[in-house]
Structure 1
Amino acid sequence: MPCYNESLNLDNFYLQILNQINIINEQNSKQINCEFIFINDGSTDNTLEILKALALKDNRIKILNFSRNFGKEAAILAGLQHSNAKATILIDADLQDPVELIPTMYKKFITQSIDMVCVRRIDRKGESKIRAFFSDMFYKISRFMSEIYLQSGVRDFRLMSKEVVDAILQLGEYHRFSKAIFEWVGYSKIYLEYEYIPRNAGSSGWSFWKLFKYGIEGLISFSTMPLRLAFILGFGASFGAFIYMIILILDTLIYGNDVRGYPSLMCVVVFFSGVILIVLGIIGEYIARIYEQVKNRPNYILKDENELQN
C-alpha cells in the first residue's frame, strides 16, 4: 500500500481493509495469514506517525519508510520486494479503489486458479474533460506504438500470485511503468469492473504535468516506435526537400522563373531545424534512460523499516 500524504485516509482505510479480511475469514471458516505492508513515500504530513500508531495496535503491519519521495513506481517495487505471500494485493490508500472487491478477488484466486485478478474502472466520472481526453489518447497511442495492450481504466489495484510477483521482480529496469509490466509478464488474468469512487479526503498527488510525464515514460519504456517515427520523419523531410529542389530546377530551366530567395530559404531552414531537434530529442530520451540505467542507482532508499513482530 503506497502512501504519500494520506494522513486523512489511513485510519478509515485500515478499518475497511480489516473488515474485508474478516469477511474472507468468515467465508472460509478459518483465519487466513496476512500482513500489511505500508510504504511511506516521503510524506510531508503525519502519515508516518499514524502508520506507527497503527503498527503498535497490529503486529501484522510493516512500514517501509523512504528517505524522500521516490514516486509510486518505487513504492510498488519496494512493497513487492518485501512480500513473500502466496498472493499479494496492491492497493492505494486513498480509498478510491473499491476495497469491497477484495473478498471476490481472493475467492476467484482460490477457486479459479487465476494468477492475477485485476480491477477496471468503467467510467471517467470525476475527471475533467481535458484530462479524460488526454487519458484516452494515451491508451490509443500506446496500443499503436507498443506490442503491449493496455486497457483503459485498469487500475494498479490487483491481486497477484507469488509467481507473478517473482516475474515482475526479475525486470531490473530503473525506469518502471507498472501498468505495462503487469501486462508484459503475461499469466492468466481476469478483470472486475467498478464505477468511479470519489476521493475520501485530501488531494491527489498526481497533477496533470506529472501524469503527462508518466505517460511519456510509459510510451518510451515499452516501445522503440518513436525512434522509427523519427527515421520516417527525417526520411520524409529529406525526400520532400529533394522533390522541391527538382521542381525549382525544372521551373527555372523550363519557364525561366527566378528562384525564390530569402523567405523560402528561411522556411526551409526553420522546418529542417525543427525536424532535427525533434529527432535529437527523441534519441536523447532513450540515451538519458540508458545513462540512468547504467549508473545502477537504487530505485529507492529506506530510511528505516519496522520489522514484523513474531
Structure 2
Amino acid sequence: MKKISIIVPCYNEQTAIPLFYKAVQQVYQTQIQPLWPQYQLEYWFIDDGATDETLVTLQQLVCQDSDHVHYVSFSRNFGKEAALYAGLQHATGDLVVVMDVDLQDPPALLPQMMSGVLTEQYDVIGVKRLDRQDEPVICSLCSRLFYWFINQISMTKIEQGARDYRMMTRQVVDAVLDMPEYNRFSKGLFSWIGFRTKYLSYENQERVASTTHWSFWNLVNYSIDGVIDFSDKPLAMASFLGIISFIIAIGALIFIVGRAWLFGDPTGGWPSLVAITLMLGGLQLFCLGIVGKYISKSYLESKRRPIYISKDER
C-alpha cells in the first residue's frame, strides 16, 4: 500500500481536531479511496506546545485510530515553521500534504490535488485564495503589499495569496528537508526548490472552531523574516539611502556656504537644525536596524540549535 501523509500543525486546537479528522476521512472514503484504492492515509498532528487539551485530544484520536493517526508533541511552542518541519521529517508517505486544522484549507480539494499529481504529473499542487473576505482591510492591504514587495526584490517568486496547503511528491519533500536552516519561511522554501507546480484557486473559508493565533504584529514579523530570508536587497537599499543622504548633506553644505559668502551669515533657526539632525539620525538608525536584522539571523544560524524539541511521539 502507498501512503498519503497529512501534516497538521496544532496550537490550542482541541475543538477543531475531531472536526478536521472527520472531514478529511469523509473525503478520503467517498472520493479518494474509490479512485485510488492503493493509497491509505497517514496523519501526523504536530502539537506545537499547546496549553489547552490539544495533546489529550490527540491521544484519544490515536487510541481511536492507532493505525493511521500519529502525533509529535513539542516541549514548548516553537512556532508553525518548526511544526511544518517536524511533520515533513516524520511523514513517510509517497505523497505529503500540509494542511491547517481549522478547515480553512478545504479537504474537498484533495481529490483534485491527487489528480494533478498522479494524472497531470505535477510535483506540487498548491492552493491560493481568490479573496480575503472576513479579514480586516488593513490585513488584506498589507498582505497584497508584502507579496508585491517580496516579488520585486527577490529572485524567488511567491504566488500571490498562496497557502501552505499543498500536496507534494516524496522528491519535493526530500528537497525541503535538505535545507535544515533555523530561520524558516516555508512559502519561500517551497518556491525556491522549484519543481513543476500548479495552483488551485478557492473561495476563502471560515474557521470551524477557536480563533486565529496570528496577530497583526505576528504577521508583520513573519513578513519581515520572509524578506530577509530570501533577499539581500534591503542591504543595498540601506546603502542607497546612505549615499542619497550624503549627497543631500553636501548640497546643503554648498548652499549654506554660498549663501553666507554672497549675503553674509544670517542667524539660522534651531528648530530646522534639530529637525535635520533628527532626520539624519533616524535614517542612520533605520539602516543600522536593517544590517542588524541580517546579523541576528546569521547569529541564530551559527548557534546550530535544534529547530524543535519533541517530548512525546506516537
Equivalent residue number for residue 7 of structure 1 = 14
Query: In the alignment, is residue 50 of structure 1 matched against residue 57 of structure 2?
Result: yes
- CA–CA distance in structure 2, aligned partners of residues 160 and 3 of structure 1: 20
Equivalent residue number for residue 137 of structure 1 = 145
- CA–CA distance in structure 2, aligned partners of residues 137 and 19 of structure 1: 38
Tell me the TM-score normalised to structure 2 length. 0.94
| Cα offsets for 1:218-261 (capped at 9, x unmatched) | 11111111101100011100110001101111111123243625
Which one of 161, 167, 174 corresponds to residue 159 of structure 1? 167
| Cα offsets for 1:269-288 (capped at 9, x unmatched) | 21221111111111110111
Do 1:252 and 1:259's aligned partners in 2 also have CA atoms closer than 8 Å? no
- CA–CA distance in structure 1, aligned partners of residues 18 and 136 of structure 2: 29
Which one of 213, 232, 243 corresponds to residue 251 of structure 2? 243
Query: In the alignment, is residue 184 of structure 1 matched against residue 175 of structure 2?
Result: no
- CA–CA distance in structure 1, aligned partners of residues 299 and 114 of structure 2: 41
Which one of 296, 304, 309 corresponds to residue 288 of structure 1? 296
Identity %: 40
- CA–CA distance in structure 1, aligned partners of residues 255 and 237 of structure 2: 27
Q: Matched residue pairs, number?
A: 305
- CA–CA distance in structure 2, aligned partners of residues 53 and 256 of structure 1: 86
| Cα offsets for 1:74-105 (capped at 9, x unmatched) | 00000001122211000011111111010111
| Cα offsets for 1:145-172 (capped at 9, x unmatched) | 2112122211100001111111111112
- CA–CA distance in structure 2, aligned partners of residues 220 and 93 of structure 1: 28
Letter of the structure 2 residue corresponding to residue 12 of structure 1: L
Query: In the alignment, is residue 19 of structure 1 matched against residue 26 of structure 2?
Result: yes
Q: Which runs of 5+ in 2 are unaligned?
A: 1-7
CA RMSD of aligned residues (A): 1.2
User: Which one is further off, 249-258 or 235-244?
Assistant: 249-258
User: Which one is further off, 14-23 or 238-247?
Assistant: 14-23
- CA–CA distance in structure 2, aligned partners of residues 228 and 103 of structure 1: 45
| Cα offsets for 1:186-224 (capped at 9, x unmatched) | 000111110011111111111111111111111111111
Query: In the alignment, is residue 299 of structure 1 matched against residue 307 of structure 2?
Result: yes
Q: Which runs of 5+ in 1 are unaligned?
A: none
Letter of the structure 2 residue corresponding to residue 44 of structure 1: T
Do 1:6 and 1:47's aligned partners in 2 also have CA atoms closer than 8 Å? yes
- CA–CA distance in structure 1, aligned partners of residues 185 and 208 of structure 2: 26
Tell me the TM-score normalised to structure 1 length. 0.95
Which one of 40, 43, 49 corresponds to residue 47 of structure 2? 40
Equivalent residue number for residue 101 of structure 1 = 109
Query: In the alignment, is residue 200 of structure 1 matched against residue 208 of structure 2?
Result: yes
- CA–CA distance in structure 2, aligned partners of residues 142 and 37 of structure 1: 31
Which one of 56, 74, 77 corresponds to residue 69 of structure 1? 77
Letter of the structure 1 residue corresponding to residue 21 of structure 2: Y
